[in-house]
Amino acid sequence: MDRIRIAGGKRLNGSIPISGAKNATLPLMIASLLTDQTLILDNVPRLADVGLLQRILSNHGVDVMTGGKRPGETQYDGQTLHISAERVIDTTAPYELVSRMRASFWVIAPLLARMGEAKVSLPGGCAIGTRPVDLLIMALERLGADIDIDGGYVVARAKNGLKGGEINFPKVTVGGTHTALMAAALANGTTVIENAAREPEIKDVADCLNKMGAKINGAGSSQIVVEGVSKLNGARHRVLPDRIETGTYAMAVAMTGGDVMLENARAELLQEGLDVLAAAGLEYNETNRGLRVARNGGALKPVEVTTQPFPGFPTDLQAQLMALMTCASGTSRITETIFENRFMHVQELVRFGARIQLDGETATIEGVDKLKGAPVMATDLRASVSLVIAALAADGETMVNRVYHLDRGFERLEDKLSACGAEIERIVG
């Protein structure tokens, strides 16, 4: 398994290209199942999860062609995928694939909407929580699906097609909202989704579905109305920039000090996160090239944050913020309200000398003057990058093990950071 070696203490200066958003790319690829024509996606990040989803989709008979580099493209330009689900040859998504990437469970909605049936393995839990899918199933039932759970699989049927209906989510769920949107797009009649997730990736997927001929209004707000249509067509869509990658690198600059242009980043995708980072001492301003972030001198200030659904502070930046706060000049508090077990990074940060106390869903962080490099273990995608942030400012050398977690969601992380002066290298093996 690859490892990443970091020698801390280097400031970050230069520019980092922000890739297309993983959490928009995955549902956009899944949306290709809704049409027999070709969906073209631009600015797709080169991530392990994208490669795995290509394999999962091919299991259903989907052809995915990766467009080659065009003249003048730099190594960081996202890739273009041509995705054709002309004929769906299999409506089953097997356990051995779904268990490796939970979002692949979302294929249940387009398979059911287009083919009238789907048999998709329950995804099982993961490091950060039990991650149930009861609300995704509820949404499909509200649109007329018959659902059985059989041998660890969700068996869904809608022989006469799905019907528009009312879906009222008791709690905000991104996957639930994606599922409801894709099923409703081809349902017969009107669907109203209440308490919908407002994440920018939801709106990005809805914009693409509308290009394909769907009739969706209100995406990005908590009420979405969908007029079902009988057929969707091919389209071309550019994936929006990754707000979690943006926030992650902004925190890396806040941690080491320096001045970096985050190319293609958009502040409105991450406003709450940027407000928190400004309170902690990071300067930022928007330019036509992206988001410029800097911290020159001035101590890191402690903050109090509770994770919330968008537009609140994102749970996917919680571990990264905790790493940053280990060196703040005072006491910080971070409360995680979205997932029940998303503090796996705490024990690893303590290995750097961080002082963190856990009390239920709240972590209290006493800032220290300096962290010391140490061998640490990555446990999940966002926790692993919090260890990189800590290592960038720690005295001495850090070895981050199990970096396959990193590769799921951060494209060329070590290249992007070393281009700005970090002493970081991947040790293959």
- Residues near ligand EPZ (CB under 6 A) are 23, 26, 103, 129, 131-136, 171, 173-176, 315-316, 338-339, 381-382, 409
Helix intervals (H) in 186-291: 200-211, 243-256, 271-280
Q: Are 387 and 6 in contact (CB under 8 A)?
A: no
Q: How far is the CB of 227 from ligand EPZ (least distance, A)?
A: 24
- The position carrying tokens 């070393």 is 418
Cα angle: 203, vertex 126, 111; to 5 degrees: 50
| Residues known to be catalytic | 126
Q: Which is nearer to ligand EPZ, 102 or 351 (CB)?
A: 102
Alpha carbon separation from 95 to 62, 106, 234, 332, 333 (Å, rounded): 18, 13, 29, 41, 39
Q: How far is the CB of 58 from ligand EPZ (least distance, A)?
A: 19
Nearest to 320 by CA among 310, 299, 341, 334: 334
Least Å from the CB of residue 112 to ligand EPZ:
16
Measure CA 291 to chain center: 19
Taking Cα atoms as reference points, which of 276, 283, 280 lies closest to residue 258?
A: 283
The residue among 129 and 375 lying less far from ligand EPZ, judged by its C-beta, is: 129
Give whichever of 39 and 133 is closer to ligand EPZ, judged by the CB atom: 133
Of 313, 244, 249, 248, whose CA–CA distance to 275 is shortest? Answer: 313
CB of 252 to ligand EPZ, least distance (A): 17
Work out how close the CB of 274 gets to ligand EPZ at its nearest, in angstroms, rounded to a whole number: 17
Question: Nearer to ligand EPZ by C-beta: 155 or 229?
Answer: 155
Nearer to ligand EPZ, 19 or 173 (CB): 173
Distances from the Cα of 273 to the Cα of 191, 249, 333, angstroms: 32, 12, 15
